């Protein structure tokens, strides 16, 4: 199991302000604190979600250049963790920038003093160090036999409203070599951003016309790891919109055709693509999505969007969703209106239920099969019926908006304006920016950073794909 940590923006800023307060005043003084974490378990990685910091009170720690905590502070932190059914994390600062190693006293404190009592929570101790530049590094202390083993994290992430910060452990996940083939890409956003983009595991749920075009974009910009999820096979009526599909591909799995094309178009030295011909509400595919650092939602079904809402809010994996709606004037048989939009979904952006991409009754109807029952559908209000009209250029725009929202989120400097949703009206030729919050009583607000405790109740166990249609990629 790989180990990782992800922070909510509040937890990141509270912890870093506390831990770096002395360095920011030019004093050579480290600091420490505890935090709570909740597990998010993917197929290949366990992630500690950190949303709550337990700051020291008066007399809880001693500062002497280095820093040490009093037993009462540790007791209070463990008690709080047990009461909230969370794990314990210990954080401290170092007087140098970048990913930090551990000194002898660091190892002694975490392995010998903290790791065993932290076991009372039922979860391993997570140790974190922050450098003077705010760069996080971290490890899990896992018990093997009677010994505590240090498992270094691959990376630490921090999800915010404006940007997504990712701190890599270069020894485990090496940055890519600067290659001629990516010269123009490197020259566009620089080495540091390219090192981040190239090392992401990018998920794409739905490999239809939008998903395949997103796949092409991420393969071209040097992404070296992708996870593709879609249970469907290519049909004849897909071929007017499917970037990679040819007549020879009819009957083949969409994920296989997309993976084949991505491999031949990839600019990364080596691209690793994992395919799941499963619906996203299948447990296996769901956990594969939990291994991703960012997920594109290229589906038009309510259950898939509901699952992705959980992934974004409960598991702190940013989701980028989009959709196309077309209206044809039946009397004149001409295009009447077309609009498409793309938006980013995290705990800091409106969820897909609040922004109207689906509603709970549609989820129930899809799960009980009535959404696919033609007589039932004809009784529904028009906006809930769903339409299948679409053309390649519209999908191309959505895919472009989605990939550019990903880039904005990864590259944004503090002064960039917030862009949560872009909404494009084809006939009026307008593009609007929409930034909104979830409704006051939206249940996804409570699911923030709850991880495995807040998975959808209807996940299906086992590898067997459901009968189609089940995912309807756009
Ligand atoms: Zn240290
Ligand atoms: Zn909401």
118-124 average pLDDT score: 97
295-318 average pLDDT score: 97
| Nearest partner of 303 among 468, 473, 474, 471, judged by Cα | 471
The confidence score (pLDDT) of residue 470 equals: 46
- 288 has pLDDT over 80: yes
The DSSP result for 379-442, as a single string, is: TS-HHHH------HHHHHHHHHHHHHHHHHHHH--TTSPP--EEEEETTTTEEEEE-----TT-
* Distance separating alpha carbons of residues 319 and 296, to the nearest angstrom: 6
**Paired tokens of 16:** 């870093």
**Residue 465 binned pLDDT confidence (cut-offs 50, 70, 90):** very low
**Residue 458 binned pLDDT confidence (cut-offs 50, 70, 90):** very high
CA of 447 to the centre of ligand 2 (A): 10
- 196 has pLDDT over 60: yes
Q: What SS3 class is residue 318?
A: coil
Do the bridges between strand 319-329 and strand 334-345 make them parallel or antiparallel, or are there none, so unpaired?
Answer: antiparallel
Do 223 and 268 touch, CB atoms closer than 8 A? Answer: yes
Of 472 and 251, the structure prediction assigns the larger pLDDT to: 251
* Distance separating alpha carbons of residues 224 and 228, to the nearest angstrom: 13
The confidence score (pLDDT) of residue 335 equals: 87
pLDDT digits (tens, 9 = 90+) for 43-76: 999 999 999 999 999 999 999 888 999 999 999 9
Q: Ligand nearest 67 Cα, by number?
A: 1
- Residues 6 or more apart in contact with residue 222 via CB below 8 angstroms: 176, 182, 185, 194, 197, 198, 266, 267, 268
**Paired tokens of 229:** 């999820």
- Residues 6 or more apart in contact with residue 108 via CB below 8 angstroms: none
73-88 average pLDDT score: 98
Q: Where are the beta strands (DSSP E) in 298-371?
A: 319-329, 334-345
458-463 average pLDDT score: 83
pLDDT digits (tens, 9 = 90+) for 395-421: 999 999 999 999 999 999 989 999 999
Give the predicted TM-score (pTM) of the model: 0.94
Q: Ligand nearest 104 Cα, by number?
A: 1
Residue 322 CB neighbours (<10 A): 28
* Distance separating alpha carbons of residues 295 and 312, to the nearest angstrom: 9
- 380 has pLDDT over 90: no
- Residues 6 or more apart in contact with residue 337 via CB below 8 angstroms: 326, 327, 425, 426, 427
The confidence score (pLDDT) of residue 386 equals: 53
**Paired tokens of 285:** 């595919």
* Distance separating alpha carbons of residues 298 and 220, to the nearest angstrom: 19
Question: In the chain, what percentage of residues exceed pLDDT 70?
Answer: 94
CA of 46 to the centre of ligand 1 (A): 24
337-347 average pLDDT score: 95
- 17 has pLDDT over 80: yes
Q: Ligand nearest 109 Cα, by number?
A: 1
- 469 has pLDDT over 50: no
The confidence score (pLDDT) of residue 329 equals: 79
**Residue 205 binned pLDDT confidence (cut-offs 50, 70, 90):** very high
Q: Ligand nearest 357 Cα, by number?
A: 2
Chain-wide mean pLDDT for the chain? 93
Q: What SS3 class is residue 104?
A: helix
- 221 has pLDDT over 50: yes
- 323 has pLDDT over 50: yes
Q: Ligand nearest 103 Cα, by number?
A: 1
CA of 74 to the centre of ligand 2 (A): 36
**Residue 370 binned pLDDT confidence (cut-offs 50, 70, 90):** confident
Q: Kindly list the structural domains of the chain, giving each domain's residue range(s) and its CATH number in brackets, ordered by start.
A: 2-168 (3.40.140.10), 180-454 (3.40.50.720)
The widest CA-to-CA distance across the chain, in whole angstroms, is 81
The confidence score (pLDDT) of residue 256 equals: 97
Q: Ligand nearest 309 Cα, by number?
A: 2
CA of 44 to the centre of ligand 2 (A): 29
432-445 average pLDDT score: 94
The confidence score (pLDDT) of residue 371 equals: 82
* Distance separating alpha carbons of residues 197 and 200, to the nearest angstrom: 6
The confidence score (pLDDT) of residue 63 equals: 94
Q: What SS3 class is residue 246?
A: coil
The confidence score (pLDDT) of residue 377 equals: 55
In the block, residue with structure tokens 């309807």: 472
The confidence score (pLDDT) of residue 328 equals: 83
Of 101 and 179, the structure prediction assigns the larger pLDDT to: 101
Q: Ligand nearest 91 Cα, by number?
A: 1
CA of 439 to the centre of ligand 2 (A): 6
The confidence score (pLDDT) of residue 26 equals: 95
pLDDT digits (tens, 9 = 90+) for 249-274: 999 999 999 999 999 999 999 999 99
Of 311 and 388, the structure prediction assigns the larger pLDDT to: 311
Of 356 and 330, the structure prediction assigns the larger pLDDT to: 356
Do 125 and 114 touch, CB atoms closer than 8 A? Answer: yes
Instruction: Report phi then psi at 252, rounded to 5.
Output: -85, 155
Query: How buried is 113 (Cβ within 10 angstroms: 0-12 exposed, 13-18 middle, 19+ buried)?
Result: middle
**Residue 468 binned pLDDT confidence (cut-offs 50, 70, 90):** very low
The confidence score (pLDDT) of residue 472 equals: 59
């Amino acid at each position: 199991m790989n180990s990782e940590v992800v922070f909510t923006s509040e937890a990141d800023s509270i912890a870093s302000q506390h831990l770096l307060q002395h360095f920011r005043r030019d004093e050579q003084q480290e600091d420490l604190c505890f935090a709570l974490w909740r597990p998010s378990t993917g197929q290949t990685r366990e992630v500690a979600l950190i949303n709550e910091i337990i700051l020291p009170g008066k007399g809880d720690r001693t500062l002497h250049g280095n820093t040490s905590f009093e037993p009462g502070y540790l007791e209070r932190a463990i008690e709080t963790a047990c009461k909230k059914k969370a794990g314990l994390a210990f954080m401290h600062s170092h007087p140098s920038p970048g990913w930090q190693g551990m000194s002898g006293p660091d190892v002694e404190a975490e392995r010998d003093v903290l790791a065993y009592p932290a076991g009372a929570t039922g979860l391993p101790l997570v140790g974190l160090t922050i450098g003077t530049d705010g760069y996080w590094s971290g490890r899990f202390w896992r018990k093997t036999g009677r010994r505590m083993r240090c498992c270094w994290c691959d990376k630490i992430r921090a999800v915010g409203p404006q940007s997504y910060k990712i701190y890599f452990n270069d020894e485990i996940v090496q940055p890519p070599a600067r290659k001629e083939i990516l010269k123009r890409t490197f020259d566009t956003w620089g080495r540091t951003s390219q090192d981040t983009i190239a090392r992401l595991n990018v998920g794409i749920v739905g490999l239809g016309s939008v998903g395949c075009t997103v796949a092409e974009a991420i393969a071209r910009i040097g992404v070296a790891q992708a996870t593709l999820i879609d249970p469907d096979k290519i049909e004849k009526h897909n071929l007017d919109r499917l970037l990679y599909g040819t007549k020879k591909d009819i009957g083949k799995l969409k994920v296989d055709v997309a993976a084949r094309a991505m491999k031949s178009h990839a600019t990364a030295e080596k691209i690793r693509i994992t395919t799941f011909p499963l619906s996203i509400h299948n447990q296996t595919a769901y956990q594969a999505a939990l291994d991703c650092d960012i997920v594109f939602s290229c589906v038009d079904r309510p259950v898939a969007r509901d699952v992705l809402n959980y992934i974004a809010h409960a598991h702190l994996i940013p989701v980028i969703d989009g959709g196309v709606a077309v209206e044809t004037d039946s009397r004149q048989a001409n295009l009447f209106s077309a609009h498409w939009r793309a938006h980013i979904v995290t705990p800091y952006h409106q969820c897909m239920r609040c922004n109207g991409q689906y509603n709970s009754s549609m989820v129930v109807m899809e799960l009980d099969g009535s959404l696919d029952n033609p007589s039932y559908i004809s009784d529904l209000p028009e906006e809930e019926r769903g339409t299948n009209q679409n053309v390649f250029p519209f999908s191309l725009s959505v895919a472009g908006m989605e990939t550019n929202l990903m880039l904005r989120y990864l590259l944004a400097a503090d002064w960039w304006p917030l862009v949560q949703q872009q909404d494009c009206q084809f006939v009026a030729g307008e593009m609007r920016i929409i930034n909104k919050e979830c409704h006051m009583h939206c249940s996804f607000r409570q699911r923030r950073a709850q991880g495995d405790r807040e998975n959808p109740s209807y996940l299906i166990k086992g590898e067997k794909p459901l009968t189609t249609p089940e995912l309807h990629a756009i």
